[in-house]
Every structure is written in structure tokens, then in C-alpha cells.
Structure 1
Amino acid sequence: MVSIFLRSLVYNVLFYVLLVLWMLMAIPTFLLPRRVFMRVAKAWARSSIWLMSAICNIKVEYRGVEKIPNGPLIVASKHQSMWETFALLQFFDAPLFIYKRELGWIPFFGWYLMKSRMIGVDRDGGMRSLMEMARRAPKEIRGGRQLIIFPEGTRTPVDATPNYMTGVGQIYASAGVPCIPVALNSGLFWPRRTFMRYPGTLVVEFLDPLPPGLARKDFIVRIKASIEDATKRLVDAARAEQAQLFGRVPAKT
């Protein structure tokens, strides 16, 4: 475990150094089209994932990539860690995120969020803020973008009871585009609220897309069942692998 601690420490330091370097290199993109900045953002994501693999012995496996539809899309992903907030970028031409408006106040990072036309939401804004999000997101999606959204609204620990918000259903009903559910087990390798990074095989699985036009309640039921069933399968397999690596399964995260 001492080795894991040291590897985790080194990775976290280098991760943020790398983030700063990429933000500085991206400065010229303020004068260029959004797609140029997105290429830089994807390069940062890939370099961070490579660094994680090289230092922390975390292999990453992507399944079902061939199922991703082209064009406007909703990507409804399980959210167990910070990792998927940047790792999913690389699979989409015009990714769109909904973020806490306070993040837009961070120098450079916030400016890049605005440059890439992400949607900032005031969490204290109540119904007015939610209505603004529900209006802007479908418009951006129909314009050709891929919304990467976490239906639970926040990171949830592995094994936590899922609580899927209704907002994703509203966006789905208004946008009229397919939705691809995404399952993963990242919380076992990049747990929230700790810098520890545990070795093993991190798996992201793109599941069968749902067509547009489903009733809102039916849509929520179907994405929840699809994501949760697949996530449990991935988590169970990863825990079995960790049991072999450590002689036991690390504490739940």
C-alpha cells in the first residue's frame, strides 16, 4: 500500500501540473474556432489517462464504442468520480457539459468553459435556473452537439443508492434525439474525496442507445435500469480483480 500511496501522490501532482501546462498552451485558441480548443481539451484528457496508466497501473478498457450514434446525442453516464468528466470528451465531436456556474469564475479554466459554450447553472437559482438549462441544452443538442450528462446530478460513491433526477428526462423529451447510457466502475480506482488511485482495470461501457420519443417516465426507468445493472456487473468484476491484486478488496469508496 506504500507503493500505491506514493504512486497516487506523484500522479496527482503531475496531473495538475499537466492541467496547467495544457491551459497555457491553449491560450491561442481564444482567437480560433471552438473546435480547435476542443482538440486541445481532448489531447489533455488522453494525456492524463495515459499518465494514470503509466504511474498508477490503472488499465482503461472501453467497450461498446461502436454503439455511439453519429450527430446530436445525449450521453447519460454513471458518475462515480472526477475521471469521467474529462475521459468521455475524446469520443465526441462537439461535447457539451452542464457545469456549476461558480466554476466559470476560475481564471483560465472558467474562460475555457465559456469559450467552448458549455452551460453554466446557478444551483441556488431554483426553478428559473432549471428552466434556463432545460431551454438551452436541447437547443445546443439539436444544433449538432453531444450532451454528456450525469443523471444523478453529482458524484455518488460505489454502492450508494442511485437517485436519478428528472432533468435529464426533460432535456431528452425536448431535444428529440437518441440517448446512449454509459456504465463504469471508475469509483473503485479514482474514488471521490481522496487522492488515492488504485490499480486494476477501469472499464467504461457504452450501452444500447435509446431511441427518441419515449415517454419521459419510461425513459428514466430504462436508463436507470440499463446503467445500474451494467455498473454492478463492472464493479463486481473489478472487485474480483482487486481481491487478486491485494489479497483483499480495498475499503468501499
Structure 2
Amino acid sequence: MNVLICYMRGFIAEILIYCTMLILGTIGLPFSLISKDWAYGFIRLYCRTCFLILRILNNIRIECRGEIPQGKVLVCSKHMSFLDILMLAYYLPRVSFVMKKEILFLPIIGLYGLRIGCVPVARGTGSKALNSMIRDYSDFDKKNETQQIVIYPQGTRVQPKEIKKYKIGAGVLYERLRLPCHLVGTNSGKIWPKGSFKKSSGTAVIEFFSVLQAGIPLNEFMVKMETDIEKCSNMLMEEEESREK
């Protein structure tokens, strides 16, 4: 019975989260087209509302650890849930995501993604997509945009403890843009797993735990990024598991 209630509450939470996206997104769209600051403001309002829904229905708390980057940086993060997207969008002041091209065609979220400068990447197009992504972010650099560029090195959401290769795109972006790279670990998949309505009570954490300065050789960067992100995320998940006992 408790498991059934957990799934029902999770299902209701998702309905409210997507209805909120439609309502707030529609209200905020005219303002967001006028000013990018308005777009960021409505995104943060939406994230806060989602956190409130999850707190009330699922007893989920949100926590951000470490020093939040403020300037023009690259952010490489573990990705296990829609929840870690919400958390990064809320805490990073001028966030820009490298996102799947299909998201462009989703109502509301695609429009806001374009407005704040997210860069769409087509799956399976290899070096062509990589070069397009580099070119788009190089254009931002010329405009002196002070955005925090978020890329998920594994390219998609993963289950807790799932082993999935880290893709070279994050490393090439780091090498070409020559920006400091902030590493982020999370336990979000323990709270809101990929592909499930179930949402477990607990504390969802993102942690900005390390900064890799520009100039590290590509192979060395890739190894260190993967090792450190996995280590931090596993520690956060183990911490959450110990709370559950």
C-alpha cells in the first residue's frame, strides 16, 4: 500500500509540474521575448514551484552544496533525473544547456531553451554536431555572454550506479572554449529515478565539488572528469541510502 501511495503521489506531482510549466510558461512568454532576464526569472519561479510541489507531495528537500559559479564557465554534471535539470536551472544565474535537438519541438520548454541560449545537438551526427555546438558557443563568446554552459558528458539520463561511457563532446568543448570547468555530482536518481513515477522522500543534492582550470590535456581531462564526477555522485547516493536506514 505504501508503495502504491508513493507512485500515486509521484504521478500527481508530475501532472502538477507539467501543468505549472504550461501555465507559468505561457504567462511569462511575452515578457521573456522582451528580456532574457525575464526569461531567467520565470524559469527560476517555475523551478521553485516544482520544488514546493515535491516538498508537499513527496517530502523531497532540495540542497545545493559548494561554490556556485557566477561567470563564464563550463559545467559538467552527472544527469540522472529531470530534477537535476531543475536544480541547475535554479541555482546557476545565467545557465545555458547543451540539449537534445528534439527538445526544441516541445511546447514551452523549447522556446525558453532557445531564449536563454541553449544549444541543440542532434543525436548520432558525430563530428558535425560537435562542430556546430562549438561554433554556436563561440558566437556567444564573441557577444561576451557570461553564461554557465552546462553539458551532461554521458549524453542522457542514467540510473543510479549505471555504467555509461562519458562522451568526448564535453572534453572538446572544454578544450576549444578554454574555460574553467566546474564538476557537479548529484544523487537525484535516488529521489526521482529515470522513467518512473516513483519519487522517494529524501534530500536531492547537487554539489559543485571541484574546478578544473583551462589547459589540461584532453585525455587527462576526460579521465579526471569521469572519475571525480562518478566518485562524488556515488558518495552522495550512499549518503542518501544511509539516511533511509
Query: Taking structure 1 as the reference length, what is the TM-score of the superposition?
Result: 0.89
Residue of structure 2 equivalent to 1:38: 40
Of the candidates 208, 218, 224, which is equivalent to residue 216 of structure 1? 218
Question: What stretches of structure 1 of length at least 5 have no aligned partner?
Answer: 245-253
The alpha carbon displacement at 1:140 in A equals 2.5
SS of the residue corresponding to residue 149 of structure 2 reads strand
The alpha carbon displacement at 1:124 in A equals 4.3
The answer (yes or no) to whether the contact 1:46–1:87 under 8 Å persists in 2 is no
SS of the residue corresponding to residue 103 of structure 1 reads helix
Cα distance in 2 for residues equivalent to 1:138 and 1:81: 29
Cα distance in 1 for residues equivalent to 2:62 and 2:159: 19
Answer with 31-40 or 179-188: which moved more: 31-40
The alpha carbon displacement at 1:77 in A equals 0.6
Residue of structure 2 equivalent to 1:251: none
Pairing 1:80-95 to 2, within 5 Å after superposition:
80-95=80-95
The alpha carbon displacement at 1:184 in A equals 0.7
Of the candidates 48, 63, 66, which is equivalent to residue 65 of structure 2? 63
Pairing 1:219-230 to 2, within 5 Å after superposition:
219-230=221-232
Identity rate, percent: 26
Question: What stretches of structure 2 of length at least 5 have no aligned partner?
Answer: none
Q: CA RMSD in A?
A: 1.7
Cα distance in 2 for residues equivalent to 1:35 and 1:129: 28
Letter in 2 for 1:68: I
State the aligned residue count: 241
Cα distance in 1 for residues equivalent to 2:232 and 2:122: 32
SS of the residue corresponding to residue 210 of structure 2 reads coil
Of the candidates 224, 234, 245, which is equivalent to residue 232 of structure 1? 234
The alpha carbon displacement at 1:100 in A equals 1.8
Cα–Cα, structure 1 residues 107 and 186, in superposed 2: closer, same or farther, change >3 Å? Answer: closer
Pairing 1:93-172 to 2, within 5 Å after superposition:
93-140=93-140, 143-172=145-174
SS of the residue corresponding to residue 163 of structure 2 reads coil
Residue of structure 2 equivalent to 1:77: 77
Answer with 148-157 or 6-15: which moved more: 6-15
SS of the residue corresponding to residue 68 of structure 1 reads coil
Cα–Cα, structure 1 residues 229 and 124, in superposed 2: closer, same or farther, change >3 Å? Answer: closer
The C-alpha deviation readout for 1:7-47, integer Å capped at 9, x for no partner, is 21221121111111111111222441212111111110111
The answer (yes or no) to whether the contact 1:68–1:209 under 8 Å persists in 2 is no
Q: Confirm or deny that 1:18 pairs with 2:27.
A: no
